[in-house]
Chain A
Amino acid sequence: MSGQAIAATASPSATPARAPRRGPPLHRRLINVRRFLVPVLLVILWQLAADVGLISTRLLAPPAAIASAAWELIASGELPYHLLVSLQRVAIGLAIALTARVSLGLIAGLSKLGEDAVDATLQMLRALPFLALVPLFILWLGIGEATKIALVALGATFPIYLTLFGGIRGVDPKLLEAGRILGLNRAEQIRHIILPGALPQALVGLRYALGTAWLSLVVGEQINATAGIGFLVMDAREFLRTDIILVGLVVYALLGLGADQLVRALERRTLAWRPSLIREA
C-alpha cells in the first residue's frame, strides 16, 4: 500500500530523530541541559588547568583568552569580514555544485542513456580523493578565488549527485504510472513526482555536501589566501596566537552546526508529509 511509497523514497538514514517543532516538554529540555553539562565541565577544567600552569598557554590558549580574542576580532570587524569572505566562497561553490549536479543527476536518473554517459564517468572520478586535485587546480586556476571555489564545488558535488541519482531511481514506478494516466506530461511528472520523491534522499546528500564543502574550504583557504577564516588562522599561526587559531576553529564548528540546522529546518518544511514528522506536529 502507501507504505511502499515511503519505503521507496525515504532511506533509514533520512529519518533522524528530530526535536518537536515548538515547546519541548520539560523532561526534553532537561535532557538538553544534561547534554551540555560535560562539554561545559571540560571547558571549566581546561581553564583551571591553564590557570594553575598545567597547560602551557603558549601552546594552547585558555578559554577566557579565546573568548576575549573572539570579542576583539568581532569588535574590530575583522571576524565578520573574514567570515563573510568564507561564506561567500561556500555559497558560490555550493551553488555551482547544486546546479551542475542536479542537472547531471536528472540526466542520469531519468534515462538509461544518461546513466551510461554520466554515471559511470562520475563513479570513476569519485574514486579519486578530490583534495588530491589541489596541485592541478592551482596550476589551472592560480591561487586566487577560483581554486577555492572550485574545491568547494567539487567537494560538494558527489554527495549531491549520488543521493539525487539514488533518490530518482528509488521513486516508485507505480506512482509514475498513476501520473501518466492522470495526464501528466514528462515535465509535470518530473515536477510533481520525481523531484519530490527524490527530495528526502537529496536533502541527506545536501547535508553531506555542506560537510565536505567546509572541509574543502579549510583546505582551500590554507593554500594561499588574503582573506577568510582560513587566512585568519594561518596568519595567527605566524604570530603564535593560539587564541585566534582556536577562535577560527570554533567558527568553523559553528558554521558546520549552523549548516546542519539549516538543512534540518529545510527538511521539516519540505518533508512535512512524512509520518515521523506528522506525528510530532
Chain B
Amino acid sequence: MNAIVELRALSRRFHGPASQPVLDRIDLTIAPGEFVALLGRSGSGKTTLLRTLAGLDPVTEGKARLPQRRAVVFQEPRLLPWKPVWENVALGLPGSLGATRGHALRALREVELAHRAQAWPLTLSGGEAQRTGLARALVRDPELLLLDEPFASLDALTRLRMQSLVGELWQAHQPAVLLVTHDVEEALLLADRVLVLAQGRLIEDVSVPLPRPRRRAAADFDALRLRLLGALGVDEDGNDAAKAA
C-alpha cells in the first residue's frame, strides 16, 4: 500500500526499558496528502509522537517508515533572530543564498508576509512569526508537514486566520499533515481524520466525512465534537467526565 507514514508497534520510554511507556505500541498509517489531527490532553505524548515522525528522536522499540521530505512547525517559532525573515525561510535549502532567495520570497508571499521579508524576526508579531515558520516549512515542499500546536499561543482572531491559511496551503500543496492540537474544533475544521492519544495509545481514530469549508454550527460537526470530547474525558461544559461520574 502507498502509505507515506507507517508506524508499527512503536513505543517510547524515557526512563529505562522497564518504565511506563509514553507511547505504547502505536500503529499508525498516513496516506499521501491526508490531513490528520492528533488530539490529547497535555502530557499525553503528542509532542513525543510528532518528534518521532519528524525523525528527531531515535526509534528504539517498533518500526517507523517516514518520507524523505519532512518539515516541522513548532509551537514556538524557533526563528534565528540574527537572520532576516527571508534568510530564515531559505535556511538549509540547497544552493547559494542568492539562488534560494526567489523560493523564499515566493513562500513568504503565500503566507502573506512578502512585505516583511527583510524584517528581523524579533520585530514580528506572534502570528507573523508562525507564518514565517509555515513558509519555512512549505518552501521545502514537504511530503509530510508536522504542526505541533502552532496556533496555541496566538490570540483568538489570529488563530482563526492561521487555521484557514493552513487549510488553503494544504489544499494548494497537498502534503500529508499531522496537526497536533488540544482544540477539538480546530481538528474538526481542518482534518480528514482525527486521532486521540491517551495513556500512550491511540484510543480514537475517527474519519471526518464533512464537506469543506466546514461550519461549526452543522449538526454532524457537533456530534463528532461531543464524541471526541468524550474520548478526551471531558464533558460539554469542560468538566472532567471521570470525576463527575
Contact = CB atoms under 8 A, between A and B. Distances in A.
B67 interface: no
A182 B122 contact: no
A275 B122 contact: yes
A30 B101 CA distance: 45
Interface string A256-277: 0000000000000001111100
Contacts of B45: none
A273 B81 contact: yes
Interface stretch (B13-21, B71-79, B232-240): B71-79
B122 A174 contact: no
A196 B122 contact: no
Q: How large is the interface on B (under 10, 10 to 19, 20 to 34, 35 or more residues)?
A: 20 to 34
B241 to A, nearest CB: 33
B82 A273 contact: yes
A5 interface: yes
A177 B129 contact: no
Contacts of A184: 91-92
A175 B76 CA distance: 10
Given A4-B76, A180-B56, A192 B83 contact: yes
A183 interface: yes
B56 A174 contact: no
A182 B92 CA distance: 5
A181 B124 CA distance: 22
B120 interface: yes
Contact of B76 (A1, A183, A193, A274): A1
A5 B84 CA distance: 15
B76 A181 contact: no
A2 interface: yes
Contacts of A192: 80, 83, 91
A278 interface: yes
Contacts of B126: 1
Contacts of B55: 181
A183 B92 contact: yes
Interface string B213-238: 00000000000000000000000000
A188 interface: yes
Given A178-B74, A180-B56, A181-B70, A193 B80 contact: yes
B150 to A, nearest CB: 12
A2 B56 contact: no
Contact of A174 (B54, B74, B81, B92): B74
A5 B91 contact: no
Interface of A: 1-2, 4-6, 9, 174-175, 177-184, 188, 192-193, 196-197, 199, 271-275, 278
Interface of B: 54-56, 70-72, 74, 76-84, 91-92, 120-124, 126, 129, 136, 140, 153
29 contacts: A1-B153, A2-B76, A2-B77, A2-B79, A2-B81, A2-B121, A2-B124, A2-B129, A5-B79, A5-B80, A6-B122, A174-B74, A179-B80, A181-B54, A182-B91, A182-B92, A182-B140, A184-B92, A192-B80, A192-B91, A193-B80, A197-B82, A272-B120, A273-B81, A273-B121, A273-B122, A274-B122, A275-B122, A275-B123
Given A1-B76, A5-B81, A192-B91, 5 more contacts: A2-B79, A2-B124, A177-B56, A182-B140, A199-B82
